[in-house]
């Protein structure tokens, strides 16, 4: 049985992907094979990098990549209003689907590993990963986040949602940035079964602004699969936070701690890939836990680490006086 790690990436998130790969190498606890699922065809820099990383390969099975894109497209075509809204906002892709490449993460269910951890590229691994795989003996998926406290970013709140997942079942939702699961959970028959229910009207519960996250949660929950969330299964005091939006974490020795407990992973959720690109170009941009990111990004090439001068600029600066005045004028109209 082969355990491995999937990462969804392309050259746009190159710096984040390198930091993640280095953090896996240092902290994951064993020589996990890694497979990068391409978000799209922008892969020149990553291909070059992988020549020096024998344990990392690129997922290049076009049949599987195309299959899951087609599966996602069928789902969104059955949604009552997602595609028109995306088109109105100007965020629809060439095929009408918003962020279609994000759905390629589902290739892990047909991929090269029997058991796997999927990771978004904007994550750093800071501790061992074997607890995830250990729990797969009892569960179909293992996660570690607090997304269940924010239903609004996973499903639309409708009477149909309450009928589909009554009681406390919605406590099983999770962030799609990290999950551990198994190959073969969604074979062709299961996919057709899911599509039939979505086309029959259940697609209305899907949340279009997080298209891949809402689908993976629907697939797991509608199929009746079991999900272990460490934040709910571990005893008080053992589970930590994981998001960069938490201001109280402590950086120490290239790791991050929550009230003295080491984080398993740090998710730079909400930070644009452009922020990391600018930082690595030498722009003195500040964001939470920047030093931890820089350590892993330049772990094997410290001579290339940018040397910053002056006071760093916040990645999300407050609006200028002009912008505030224009906003006030607009509100008065």
* Res 318: pLDDT: 56
Does the pLDDT of residue 220 top 50, yes or no?
Answer: yes
- Predicted local confidence at residue 43, as pLDDT: 98
- Mean pLDDT, residues 129-134: 96
Q: How confident is the model at residue 322 (pLDDT cuts 50, 70, 90)?
A: very low
Assign 202 to helix, strand or coil: helix
Give one DSSP letter per residue of 82-124, joined into a string.
Answer: HHHHHHHHT---TTS-TTGGGGGGGGGGGSS-SEEEEEETTEE
Distance CA 35, CA 28 (A): 15
Mean pLDDT across 195-201: 98
Cβ-contact 35, 59 below 8 angstroms:
yes
pLDDT band at 95 (very low <50, low <70, confident <90, very high): confident
Rounded distance between C-alpha atoms, residue 37 and residue 6, angstroms: 7
Determine the pLDDT at residue 319.
Answer: 53
pLDDT at 317: 62
| pLDDT(324) > 90 | no
pLDDT of residue 267 exceeding 70, the answer is yes
**Looking at the predicted structure, is the pLDDT value of residue 178 above 60?**
yes
Q: pTM above 0.85?
A: yes
Angle at 262 between CA 279 and CA 254, to 5 degrees: 35
What local confidence, expressed as pLDDT, does residue 327 receive? 52
pLDDT band at 146 (very low <50, low <70, confident <90, very high): very high
Residue 330 has pLDDT above 60, yes or no: no
Residues 237-248 have a mean pLDDT of: 95
The DSSP output letter for 243 is: B
% of the chain with per-residue pLDDT over 70:
95
The mean pLDDT value for 209-226 works out to 97
| pLDDT value, residue 332 | 42
Tell me the pLDDT of the chain averaged across its residues: 93
What digits encode the pLDDT tens for the residues 5-28?
Answer: 999 999 999 999 999 999 999 999
| Mean pLDDT, residues 114-129 | 98
């Amino acid at each position: 049985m082969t355990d491995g790690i999937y990462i969804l990436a392309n050259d746009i998130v190159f710096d984040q992907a390198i930091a993640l790969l280095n953090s896996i190498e240092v902290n994951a606890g064993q020589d996990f094979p890694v497979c990068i699922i391409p978000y799209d065809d922008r892969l020149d820099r990553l291909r070059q990098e992988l020549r020096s990383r024998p344990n990392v390969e690129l997922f290049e099975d076009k049949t599987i990549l195309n299959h899951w894109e087609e599966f996602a497209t069928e789902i969104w075509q059955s949604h009552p209003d997602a595609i028109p809204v995306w088109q109105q906002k100007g965020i629809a892709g060439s095929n009408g689907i918003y962020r279609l490449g994000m759905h390629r993460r589902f290739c892990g269910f047909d991929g090269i590993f029997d058991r796997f951890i999927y990771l978004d590229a904007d994550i750093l691994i800071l501790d061992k990963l074997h607890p995830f795989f250990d729990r797969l003996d009892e569960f179909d998926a293992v996660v570690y986040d607090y997304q269940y406290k924010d239903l609004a970013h996973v499903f639309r709140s409708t009477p149909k949602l309450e009928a589909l997942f009554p009681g406390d079942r919605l406590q099983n939702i999770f962030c799609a940035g990290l999950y551990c699961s198994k190959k073969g959970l969604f074979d062709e028959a299961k996919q057709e079964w899911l599509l039939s229910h979505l086309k029959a009207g259940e697609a209305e519960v899907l949340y279009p602004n997080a298209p891949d996250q809402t689908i993976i949660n629907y697939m797991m929950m509608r199929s009746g699969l079991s999900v272990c969330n460490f934040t709910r299964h571990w005893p008080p005091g053992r589970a930590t936070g994981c998001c960069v939006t938490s201001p109280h974490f402590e950086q120490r020795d290239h790791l991050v701690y929550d009230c003295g407990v080491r984080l398993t992973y740090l998710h730079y959720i909400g930070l644009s890939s452009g922020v990391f690109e600018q930082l690595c170009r030498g722009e003195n941009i500040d964001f939470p836990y920047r030093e931890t990111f820089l350590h892993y990004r330049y772990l094997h090439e410290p001579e290339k680490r940018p040397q910053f001068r002056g006071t760093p600029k916040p990645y999300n600066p407050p609006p200028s006086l002009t912008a505030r005045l224009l906003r006030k004028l607009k509100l008065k109209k």
